[in-house]
Structures are given as structure tokens and as C-alpha cells.
A and B are shown apart, each in its own frame.
Chain A
């Protein structure tokens, strides 16, 4: 009964979404307030119905109802409760239901929090949002029904891929979808604005919190995924440039560009068409990612149930959503006249440069991801594109971007003073140079890669430059302490958000540089008692213990002791687990971190003579990548609490009132 209720609720949600997609849209073009306002209760009803559907599926999983095909295929009674719940979205059908659930959550958010929005804009944005809902609910109902029954019901289920039974990966998809789907809000507002033919500062201010929330979620989602890959896959890396990773990274790049260009729209009333285009592109890249992952058109280390029939459906959705919106853009973009003029050397100019570099970055990632498809189609042979391409094309783009990240915030709007900004950044320049030289010398002079010194210098430049900008705004050391505190209190939270996020990126850069430049790896067969030297640590295999029981697996557990100069540093227990259902092996790396570097141990197969294959890595500075990502998310959240979102945007209403007064 419960799955049927869920199925029925989803069908009802489809009808509500159809109404929400059409009636408010017609109402907005006719100026009929009642029709427009239907969008709000409809959005709430849609959310409640999808919540019932989602709740029904969760219930099926929690109660292990194996008469539901999806549950039988992906769950098992032995699974810990936590993974029974996360198992809901660890498969294609369930994850699509989570997708529309989050979509409707955002829709309800706009309906509930958008009281100060102009009714026509709100009606159109919610209608566009509902159109996306219609597409995806249809996709679920027609090709990926999670409520399909199985008769006779099996005694137990097939279980869930053990690699996914992990706390990091339990939260990775919801965060990722909060990000992907969150950008649908910016998209819907962009389409509404294109239909209205009006984009102004107020529009940018309404859109910003939604994009910011999406950006924070996506950053956290990507960070979680990368962290998970690092500690469970046992190869010591944290990014592979795999198509599925790129699929999440491209919307992140475009979304970051969108956040920055929407500042220009808000403050200076220009770059409008570009911002609208970015809003469309960001969400389209999210959809493209969904298509690439689910259709199987690209080779990837990630295995999602790929199915050409589903691929055709998602491609059709992509054509309607992206093709339709870009066509609308083509005809309407010319009507979005920019307001403020600005010199190339200015705050706007530096934000534009950021945008150009970010979008070029997203473009190169797209090119690299799809290149194997292009060459195959044009009969140029089958190739795979990996890290060397991305490192040599993408990273050089990021260097000038990080350089301008310290200078940009120092610039005035309209016309900036580059020489002045640079002279105020003298401290940052000197410190960055010092860090670079010190890195080069400490890492052994000519033998160490020069680019690593450059990378750390760049991080220092960004970090100190960001700190200098903040110090100038609060006049640190240039006024009384009381005035300093007062200035700290008055500085808008969005300014703090920028400072924290930019500093967080500096921390990430340190981590990426360190882990790439100085990683050491030792693969060998070790017998109990053997000792291997890894980056100054003496790591001894003390012994192994077989058949260690877990909740739904048995493990081969090794004990390593790491010593440095005779001093005990850590006892590490990597495991090789054999899950019972499905019967699959996984590796569980043991990581000892001191925040400067990770000692990373993996136990492999026995060699038959009492020895075991072991992989020992020293990964310097890797924790900084994840800490930096968290700092960036924190900065985004601080910015989200800025006063101007809490008090709303009175701009357009004030102007309308003034116009009314004149009339």
C-alpha cells in the first residue's frame, strides 16, 4: 500500500506541476493577479506530494519491503539502518526521486520566502521551475519508476554496492543535488527575466541567495566526494578528472562565475545579458552532467546504471530546457541594455576577467570531457583524455585568476587605480616571494619542482592579499581599537564572506600543490616484521588478522606501526573487506594525519607465502584541500546571512511607488 501511495502522490505532483507551469505563466502575461498567485499554493502542494512520494520510498527501504523491485535490487536486511536510508539515493531511480524532491523544495522556498517579489516575476519563475519538474517527474514515471513491484517478493535483497556504504558518500549525493538543482532557481529567474525583458539590480539581489546556497551545497558535495575517493579507493589520490567528476566541476565553475557577475548586475546595472547566459549555462551544465552520467555516452570509472533509453529521455529534456532557453536568449538578449560604463581597469573589469577565466576553465573541462566522443565521431580514433591534458590546460588558466583575485577587491568601481592597488599589496607580494623562495630552498633547491614553489607563493599572495584588503576596510592598526571594533561590526557579512572564501581557496591551493609535488608512494610485498621507509617514517607491518567480523562484511585487518627516528607515531589498521551481500571486496585505507601530511596505508592481497601486497603513501598537505573547501563553504554561508537578503530588496518597489506618485 505504501509504495502505491508514493506512486500515486508522484502522479498527483505531476498534475500539480502542469498547472503550476501553465496557469501562472498565462496569468503573468495577462496581468491576472489571481492566476499569478496560484503559483504559490501550487508550489507548496507540489512539494508536499513529492515529499509523500519520497517518504514512501524511504519507508520501503527502512522496513526492507522487498516486494518493491528497487528495494530488492539495492537493499538488504543486514545493512545498518543508516545505509538503508542512504540506499534510497544510491541507485538511479531513488536518486532521481531525490532530485525532484529537492527541486520542489527550492520551489516551495521561493513560494514561502518570496513575499517581497513582484508577483509577475515570482509567477513566471515558479512556472519555469514547474516545467522542469514536469520533465523530471515524467522521466521517473515513464522510465525509472522506483515503486515498481516485484512478485514473488524475494526473501532478501541484493544489497548495496559496499563502496557506497560510507558516511561521506551518504551525504555526497544530497549535497550535490542541492547544488545542481539549486542553480535551477537562478535559471528559472533568468528565464522569467528574459520573458519580462527586464534585468536590474533588484533581480540580481533576489537571485543571489539562491545561487549562493546552491554554490555552498555544490562545493560541499564535491569536497565530500573527493574526500570519499581519497580515503576509500585506496589509490591515495583525491581527483581523477573522470567525466563524472568533471560533470560536477563544470557547473561549479560556471556557478562561481555567475555569483561574481551577478554582483556587477546588482551594484552597477551592467553585464546583464552575460549574467543571464551564465545562469542558463550553469543549470544546463548540471543537466548535461546528469545526461553524461546516466546515458553511458562516455567511459567513466563510475558505474551508474547506464541505459540508452533513459539517455534519450534526458537528452530530450536537455534539448527542451537548454535549447529552448538559449533560443529565447538569442532573441531577447539584445533587449537587455547594460547601464553603467566602466574602464577595463576597475572592479567590474576584474570581475569580468574572473568570469572570462572561469568560463574558459569550464569550457576546457567540457572540451576535455567530450573530446573522446568528438574524435570517435569524426573518425579520428578512440582516445581517452586524462590528467595531463587538464593539468596543462586548466591550471595555467587558474594562475592569472588567482593573481587577480587579490587585486580585484582592491579596485574601485568604474575606474580603478592598478598602480595604487599593487602598491597597497606590496606586503603580499614580498611575503609571496619569500614563501616561494623558502619552499624552493627547503625542498632541496634545483631538484624540487619549480612550479610547487610557484604554487605555494601564489597561495600566499592570495591569502595575504585578501587579509590586506580586509585590514584596509576595517582600518586595522590605523585607528583606535574602539573604532576598529566598530568598523568590524559594520562591515557587511557579504564582505566577510568574500574574505573567508578567498582565503579558503588559498588553503586549497596549498593542499593541491603540496600533494601533487611531494607525494611519495611505495608498493611492495611485505611479510610480518618487514619495515619500509616512507618519507622519513619507518612503517612496520606487525601482523595481519583474518576474518575480523563487521556488520555485513568480514575483514582482513593489518596492523602497521609508524615510527620516526625510533619514536612511535601511530598504529594503523587498514582493512580489506569482503562484503557478504553483494559479495564484493573493498579496501579501507588507514590514514594518520597531523594536518601537515597524511601517512596512508593500504593492505592488499596475500602473495601465498605469508606476505601481503602493501601500498604506503605519504600525502603531504592533503588535509588542507578539504579544510580549505570547508572554509569556502563557511564563507558562502556567512555571505548568505547578509543583511540585504534579510531585509529584502526595496529598490523596485520604491521606483514603482515613485512612478505611481508621478502619474
Chain B
């Protein structure tokens, strides 16, 4: 028993070394550990129900995503890259059903943002900035795995997330990745 116990540290150590060697060998072949795909890909979109932010448009809940291929775009009025992405979204609204989620923002600021830049969304829900982090509304961002804004999720007809864009879309992203996928999923 005791002999086994004193040999434990060295055993654990060499098991660790095995893992390190495996990783280093992979890195020699150019595989770095820095790319972490979203765990939400090919998973059903999480349950959520967010209040509206613009007067004549409904809020957004999970049930709204079913039946259509939908692009869910997280944005905020305080986010400068969102502003850069915005003109592209206006064009995109004609090619895919586009809905928005205002991320950690105040309703009046979000409304001013949309009035100034235009509103391409069919429905918009809001995660209010003034809420406690344990509020179910604040949890929506965490459930989606949002790491920052802008981020966009392409959800298929069954409500399964098929694609995630981290950061603003570029015209190339839209034409080469997003639109072909939308066409395929719409079949």
C-alpha cells in the first residue's frame, strides 16, 4: 500500500508528460490549440423569451425561430464594430430572415441607434444592461455562448444552430460562408 502511494507522484507526472508530448507533436504539424469552435454548433438554440425594444416590433422568443432559417444577430449601441457591420445587415435582410438581440444595452439607447442607422430586423429582443447577472434575461447571452458583440448565429428550420460568426461580418464571409449555407438549409 505505502510503496504504491509513494510511487503515485512519479506515475501521475509521467502520464502528464504523455499528454504534453502528444500536444507538442501535433503542434509540430501545425495544429495549434488556439481554435476553439463554439460548443453550440449543431445544438438546439437555447430556450429564451426577451421583451421588445422597438414599439411596432415584437420581442423575440425561441418559438419564433422554428420553421424558418433565421440569422440571430447580437448587437449593442455601444459597440463600434456593430456599427461597421450594420450597413451589411441591411442588405442581408432581403436574403435571410434576420432577427436581432440587443446585448447588455439600455432600451432608449438601442432605439436611438436603430433610428439613426436603420432597422433591418424582423423582430428584436433585448437583454437589458441594468439587470442583475443572475436574471434569466442576462442568462440568454451565456446560454448562447456569446463572448462579445457583434456575434451572429444561423439557426435552421428545426431551431438548431448551424453556424456562428464571431465579430462583424465581412462581405466575403456573407458570400462565401453564410449565403451558401442559407441556401442549403432552406431546401
Contact = CB atoms under 8 A, between A and B. Distances in A.
A333 B27 contact: no
Contacts of A373: 19-20, 23, 33
Main secondary structure of the interface of B (DSSP, over half): helix
A586 B180 CA distance: 38
Given A299-B34, A330-B6, A384-B36, A315 B80 contact: no
Interface string A573-587: 000000000000000
A319 B10 CA distance: 10
A613 B80 CA distance: 8
Contact of A334 (B6, B36, B79, B129): B6
Interface string A289-321: 001000111110000000010011001001100
B6 A333 contact: yes
Max chain B C-beta neighbours (<10 A), residue from A381, A383, A523: A523
B10 A524 contact: no
A322 B33 CA distance: 25
Nearest to B12: A326
B76 to A, nearest CB: 8
Contacts of A312: 24
Nearest to A604: B80
A525 B80 CA distance: 9
A523 B78 contact: yes
A207 B175 CA distance: 66
Main secondary structure of the interface of A (DSSP, over half): helix
Contacts of A319: 17
A524 B33 contact: no
**A-side interface size class:** 35 or more
Contacts of A382: 33, 35-37
Contacts of B105: 524
21 contacts: A273-B6, A280-B9, A295-B24, A296-B33, A297-B23, A297-B24, A311-B24, A315-B24, A318-B17, A323-B13, A327-B10, A329-B9, A329-B10, A330-B7, A370-B16, A383-B36, A524-B105, A524-B129, A525-B77, A604-B80, A609-B116
Of all A-B residue pairs in the complex, the 3 with the closest CB atoms, nearest first, are A326-B10, A333-B6, A297-B23
Given A273-B6, A524-B77, 7 more contacts: A297-B20, A329-B9, A373-B33, A381-B39, A382-B36, A522-B129, A524-B109
Interface of A: 273, 277, 280-281, 284, 291, 295-299, 308, 311-312, 315, 318-319, 322-323, 326-327, 329-330, 333-334, 370, 372-374, 376-377, 381-384, 522-525, 604-605, 607-609, 613
Interface of B: 2-3, 6-7, 9-10, 13-14, 16-17, 19-24, 27-28, 32-37, 39, 76-80, 83, 104-106, 109, 116, 129
